[in-house]
Structure 1
C-alpha cells in the first residue's frame, strides 16, 4: 500500500479521514463540509485503499462517494465497500453540490483543446457538453483533481481537465468553461465510514 498524502498538517484533535483522489477532489470538499472545525484529509489512490485504511485503523474515517444525481451509483466505490464487508459501518452522510469546470494551462482556448481528462464518473456528468464540442476527446483518469494536477504539470495547451474550481486554483489552471455538467443542480452523496466496534 502506498503512503497517504496528508492534504493538511496533522492536528492531534482532528479526525483522520481517508478519501480517494488528490488534494482538491470533491471528496476532500465533502470532508471539509462534514467536519467544518477541521479534519486531516488523507488522499488515497483508490477506493479500496481508502476503505482498507479504516479497516486497519490507520485512519478514523473514510468519506466515499456512492451516488451522483446524473451518473447514478458510483460502482467502484460500492465494490470497495462490499469487499470490506461487515468490518465497516456507515456513521453519516453528506451531499455536496458538484459544479464541474473545464480547465487548462493559461493561454489555452476551447477551440484549441483536443483531449480532456477526468474521472469517468465526472465525464459521465458532462455528456451534453462533449456532444456539443465533438472535437474534444474525453479520457478517463483516476480522479478529477489528479487530472487537473497532471494537466498543469504537462503544460500542453491542447490538454484540459474537468474538475472543481478549487482544483483549478490549487494547480494554477485557467477555467475555460464553468458549470459544464448536464444539469445545474448536480450533487454527489457521500457516506462516512468507520470501523465497526
Structure 2
C-alpha cells in the first residue's frame, strides 16, 4: 500500500492536542483531509496504529538540538511498525496568553519540558517567571484558555494560538533558530515507494572484536552513505546493544540488496524499519 494523500482521508494518531507541531507535520505530509486521534502518551499512539484503530501514526524521532527521542525508537521496534514517510519541521516557539493579557501580568509559563529547555535564554532574561512542565505544547495553550488562567502563558507554535484563540505576546523565543524536529509517518506494512531513497534498519550482533566495524564496512565497501546511527540497550541483556541505522538507498537497488545480505551474515538480528523518500530540506550542504 502506498500513501496517496490526494485520493483518500486518513486516520492518523499523534501525541498531543490539536494545534500541535505533530498536527502541522501530519497535514504537510498528507494534506488537510486527515482525521487526527490525539493521545496523551506515545504508547497510546503506537498501540492505536498497531491494533488498526488508526491507519498511521506520526511521531517525532529526533530533534536537531536535543537529539533522539529514545523511547520512540524502542516503541517502533516493539510494535513492529514501519516508516513510510518523513518530514523535517522547523520548530518556532512562541509565548502565548489569553487575549487581552499583557506580558507584565504573566507569572507562570507552561509547556513541554523540551520546549522549556529550548527557551533557556528567555527565562534567564526574565528570571521572575516560573516554569511548569506539561505533557504537550499545544495542550498548554488549551489549558490556559479553558481554565481562564490570566496570569499564565504557554510556549507553543503559532498554530496552537490560532486553533485555541490565544494571543502571541512574543514570537520565536527559542534559543536557537536552527531548531528542527524529524517526524516519521508509521504504518503497519512496509511500503516501498518508487521515489524512496532512504532506508532505516535495526540490527544486533554478538560481542566480538571489530564486530561493529565489520557491520558498517558492508556499506562503505559499496559507497552507501550513512546518515544516522543510534545504539539502544537490549533489555534483559546487560551491556549489549541494538543499533538503528539510516542510509541513502532503496531496498530494490542491487547495491542495497548486497549490503543487506552481507550484513545478515554478520548479525544475529536484522530488521528493515522502512524504505521511504527522504526529506532533504534543511540539510547542511557538503556533509
TM range (shorter): 0.7 to 0.9
- C-alpha deviation, 1:143, in angstroms: 0.5
Per-residue Cα deviation, 1:6-38 (whole angstroms, up to 9, x for no partner) = xxxxxx921211100110010000000101263
1:67 aligns with 2:62: yes
User: What is the CA–CA distance in structure 2 between the aligned matches of 1:32 and 1:65, rounded to whole Å?
Assistant: 14
Structure 2 spans left out of the alignment, 5+ residues: 1-6, 191-287
Give the Cα–Cα distance (whole angstroms) in 2 for the partners of residues 181 and 143 of structure 1: 16
Structure 1 residue 151 corresponds to structure 2 residue 141: no
Counterparts of 1:1-197 in structure 2, within 5 Å, are 13-36=8-31, 38-84=33-79, 87-196=80-189
Is 1:71–1:124's contact at 8 Å kept on the other side of the alignment?
Answer: no
2:101 and 2:67 mapped to 1: Cα distance?
32
Structure 2 CA distance for partners of 1:155 and 1:180, relative to 1, 3 Å:
same
Deviates most, 32-41 or 179-188: 32-41
Q: Quick one: distance in 2 between partners of 1:104 and 1:134?
A: 18
Whole-angstrom CA distance in 2 between matches of 1:57 and 1:128:
43
Distance across 2 between alignment mates of 1:166 and 1:144: 11
The separation in 1 between residues aligned to 2:59 and 2:18, in whole angstroms, is 15
State the partner residue of 1:7: none
Change (3 A) 1:75 1:152: farther
Which stretches in structure 1 are left out of the alignment for 5+ residues? 1-11
CA drift at 1:64? 0.2
Distance 1:175 1:47, change over 3 A: same
- 1:121 offset after TM fit, Å? 1.7
Q: Which has the larger radius of gyration?
A: 2
Deviates more, 1:72-81 or 1:62-71: 72-81
* Paired positions, count: 184
Q: Which has the higher contact order (CA 8 A, sep 6+)?
A: 1
- Please give the alpha-carbon distance, in whole angstroms, between the structure 2 residues aligned to 1:111 and 1:74: 35
Shift of 1:88: 0.9
| Range moving further from structure 2, 107-116 or 91-100 | 107-116
Question: 3-state DSSP class of the match of 1:111?
Answer: helix
Structure 1 length as normaliser, TM-score?
0.86
Distance in 2 of aligned mates of 1:108 and 1:65? 32
After TM superposition, where is structure 1 displaced by more than 6 Å over at least 4 residues in a row?
none
The Cα shift of 1:43 comes to: 1.0
Give the SS at the match of 1:160.
strand
TM-superposed CA distance for 1:61, in Å, is: 0.8
Q: TM-score, normalised by structure 2?
A: 0.61
The structure-2 alpha-carbon separation of the partners of 1:136 and 1:190, relative to structure 1 and needing over 3 Å to count, comes to same
